Amino acid sequence: MRISVLYFASLKEALGVGGETVELPATVATTGALRNWLANSGGRAALTEAQALRCARNQRMTGFDEPLADGDEIAFFPPVTGG
């Protein structure tokens, strides 16, 4: 399964990239599993270091138990405050 992953705000700064396309093993089936798989491969520890990380699947906010499908766009970002 091929997924597009986007990183925003402090995650983008910490990882040094705004996004990437990854080929996932069959064992990675949810957004939470994707986060863990990314964090444990290739220097993306910032994904687990972020305490209150948020996630969106295909531009819709979701939890970390959301199932993945081929061609999904997954975005990870820290919570945003406004004023």
Q: Which residue has the tokens 């444990």?
A: 40
Q: How many helices (H) and strands (E) does the chain have?
A: 3, 5
Cβ–Cβ < 8 Å for 54, 78 = yes
* 46-56 tens-digit pLDDT: 787 666 889 99
Residue 77 is given by DSSP the state E
Q: At 30, give phi and psi (nearest 5°).
A: -130, 165
- Residues contacting residue 27 through CB under 8 Å, at least 6 positions apart: 33
**What's the confidence (pLDDT) of residue 81?**
54
Rounded average pLDDT per 10-residue block, the chain, 83 residues: 94 89 95 92 75 91 96 91 55
Structural domains for the chain: 2-70 (3.10.20)
- List, in sequence order, the alpha helices (H) in 25-82: 31-39, 46-49
